[in-house]
Every structure is written in C-alpha cells, then in structure tokens.
Amino acid sequence: MRVFNKTFCMVKPADQTWSGKLALSELDQTGLTTHVPTIYFYKQSPEDWLIVLQTLKASLSSTLVHFFPLAGRLSFITRGRLELDCNGTGVQFLEAYADANLADLDSLLPSPVYHQLIPSIDYQNTPLEEIPLLVLQVTRFVCGGFSLGLSISHAVADGQSALHFVSEWARVSRGELVETPPYLDRKVLRAGDPPRTLKMVNHEQFCPPPVLIDGENERENETTVTMLKLTATQVEKLRNKANQIQKSEVSRGFTRYEAITAHIWRTSCKARKHKPEQPTALAFCVDIRNKMRPPLPQKYFGNAIVNMIATGCSGEIVSNPLGFVSSKIRDAIKNVDDEYVNSVIDFLKNQDDLSRFRELIPTSGDEGHFYGNPNVGVISWLTLPLYGADFGWGKEVHMGPGTHDSDGDSLILHGKDGDGSLVVALCLQVRHMEEFKKVFYQDIDM
C-alpha cells in the first residue's frame, strides 16, 4: 500500500481562548510523555469527500475552544520540568490518500502499514516547543472508506482525557454542542507545601527495572506485533483459574483484569525461557480519579494515573498457580489510595531533575528504562470508552491502538462485537512470539 499527497494545515481554536503558562502536575511529567497513537476506520461517507474534510476541520476548531491546551506547546523549565504554553498555535491536520481498499488491510490488525496512516513525531530533530500536542491524519481509501489516525501527547492527556476529547469532537461534528467540558485546573494534583502526607513509602516503580542475568542487550532484537483474542468463555476460565486460590487468602475474587494481566506476565516468562532466578517486573497503570479524597472533578483533563510495579523471580511466577501471580498485582493496586498518590506527588516534587523518571513503560530506544525482556508492561483499556466515535457518517468499523513496537508492551481491550470477548495487543521479540502464542492458549485449558 502507498499513501501519497500528504498535505497539512494547522487547525486553531475557532474563538480566542485563554493564553498563558499552564503548570503541569508531577504526574503529567513522568512516565510516558511522548505521543500515544490510536486509529479509527470508517466506511464510505455518503457526502462528498471535501465536505467530510471541511466538517472535520470546522468541528475540530470548535472543539479546541473547550480543549485549548491541546492547541498549545510544551516547553522545558528548570529542574527537568515541563510546562504547557497555551498559545493557540494549533493542532496539525494531515490529508492523505491510499491506493488500497480497507479490505486489503488484513482485518485491520496493527502492522507496519499503520506507520503510513498515523502521523509520526520526529523528537530527535524537532525542538520541543515546535511539536504539536495533537497530530492527526485523515486518509481516504480507494473504496471511499477512510481512517483517522491520532497522536496525542501523554504529557497533556491520559487515555480517559484523550477519549473524552474524541467523543466531544465527534459530537460537535454531528452538529451537537459539547456535552461535558473538560476540567482544566491541574492544581488539584499539585504537590503540597508542607507535604500532604508524612507516610514513608517505597516507590519501587521509579527504580531501574531488572535486566537479563546473562547481560544480553535485548533492545537490539527484532520485534513483532500480534492481536490475541480471548472469547468470553476463555476470559471466564482464566478468572476461575486465578480464583482457585483459597478464598481465605483474598477478600474478594480476582478481576478479569488481574487474571489476564497475570496470565500475560506468566506466559512471557515461559516463552522467554528465563532461568528460575531471573528477576522480572510487571509495569502497569492505576487510574486515581476515584481513589482521591475527594475524588477528582468530573472529566478532569490531564494525567490521573500512577505507574505501579509488581516484581518476582521467573521461577516463582511460572511454578505457582495463576492466583499467586494475580495476588502480586492485587497487592500493588491495593496500595493506591489518596495517601499513596500524595506520597508519589511529594516524592516527585522533591526531585532535583524529573527527566530521569520519564518513559517508565517498554521502550526500544537506547535511553531510559527498558521494560522489555525480562519484563512486561500491561496497559488496560477495559474501562475506556473506546468505541462509538460517530462524526456524522456512522460509527467506526474498527478502532484500536496504533503502532506499537516495544518488546513486552501489551494492551488489553474489549472485542468490538460486545460479546464479552477481549483482545490482547502484544509486542514481543520475534524469537519469542510463536512460543508465547502457543503457551498463551495452551495454559487456559490446563
């Protein structure tokens, strides 16, 4: 497939918006601060293509009046910190055409083709102050269908916030008004002075992750991506396996998220054939919106997640029941309460330089923490409103993660049919993938 005639323009808010420097919370400035790609595919619109493009641009411009931070730019300040310059520079809107049909895209699974459909960001050669926080590309296919590829800076919005924006943009595109404006004041997640908590906490998630005992450089190995479907029956089997642990040992049954995440971690240890004494870590995120006291305001726009970690040795992960591994995840999640979150914020506030705490998920580059082999990172999209983005021409035929090429990186999301099935989008080294697939399904029925 070839994608050509890429043209772009900057779309700015339709009306004048507040301008100035918006302070970011400590949670905005750590973990993943690069752009997160997602993609939507749509059938042919009955309207003329130029009308489709004009409608998308006009509605985007109107929506940015409410979500104006997305039209700004990031900049560095002291101590490795970032701030958001709300200057109304705008978001980048690309138009492109593909010489293929939607039916040619191999069931719309993530593939290298996605690199042509979702805008990439050149972080190495572009000053931070010039990088748009939202970049999108609309690509028309020969059949008349089209894709909408989005890349949104994680320094400005987490998954809930990004999808809130997409939902409101779609609403405006249909000719409706914004239903729930975003809550933009990030001071609710700023560190206190004096600190809000005196609790002594070991913030293990900020320590360097384990490396392979034999010292191989795992960053250089080729990776591949797959989508593994779990039927509703298979999901229930995994939950039941996890809950075979004695009921007296847990206050309530393990959730499907805990069971599936444990299964991914366990399977990766088996597929990679670790030595029993090999340390391994599981990185994941916990949404804190309803864990704060009081809860964060409705539609808080920013990062309201904390990075967490569970650790162990591969030998104990693969030799113990699934419930044992699930309990490690449960224990980490249980730690996340208002006091814990404030301890994280205060810990980060007291750091001389925050730059070393960025990229706490799988990365294939030469810098930053590496959560590839022997580690995994699992992100859940199970609570996100992923589907139903109707811009006026019908709901998407597919929505999913964009390019994802970091060893050990995985996403759990709902199947699109609403039948209780789930999908695990996984990136793994080529040499481990086939064994992972075999064990992943084999162990469900054992």
For residue 365, report the phi and psi dihedrals to the nearest 5 degrees.
-80, -175
CA pair distance 440, 93, nearest whole angstrom: 40
Dihedral in degrees, nearest 10, Cα atoms 99, 101, 106, 107:
150
Burial of 15 (0-12, 13-18, 19+ CB in 10 A): exposed
Query: Would you list the domain boundaries of the chain?
Result: 3-189, 204-384+398-442
Q: What is the block-wise mean pLDDT of the chain (446 residues), using blocks of 10 residues? A: 91 98 92 90 94 98 99 94 97 96 76 85 92 98 96 96 98 98 90 57 82 83 92 97 73 92 98 97 96 94 96 98 97 94 92 79 52 93 92 94 85 88 95 98 93
At residue 56, the 3 state secondary structure works out as helix
For residue 143, report the phi and psi dihedrals to the nearest 5 degrees.
-70, -10
At residue 17, the 3 state secondary structure works out as coil
CA pair distance 34, 343, nearest whole angstrom: 25
The alpha carbon of residue 148 and the mean position of all alpha carbons in its chain are separated, in whole angstroms, by 17
Domain 204-384+398-442 superfamily per CATH: Chloramphenicol acetyltransferase-like domain (3.30.559.10)
In this structure, how many other beta carbons lie within 10 angstroms of the beta carbon of residue 321? 14
- At 198 the pLDDT is 55
What are the angstrom distances between the C-alpha of 83 and each of 12, 75, 128, 142, 151? Answer: 20, 6, 11, 42, 19
Q: Which two tokens stand for residue 7?
A: 């043209």
Q: Which two tokens stand for residue 20?
A: 């100035």
Domain 204-384+398-442 in the same topology as domain 3-189: yes
- At 290 the pLDDT is 95
Length of the chain: 446
The alpha carbon of residue 71 and the mean position of all alpha carbons in its chain are separated, in whole angstroms, by 21
Catalytic residues, by residue number, are 154, 390
Q: Which two tokens stand for residue 289?
A: 């919106």
CATH topology of domain 3-189: Chloramphenicol Acetyltransferase (3.30.559)
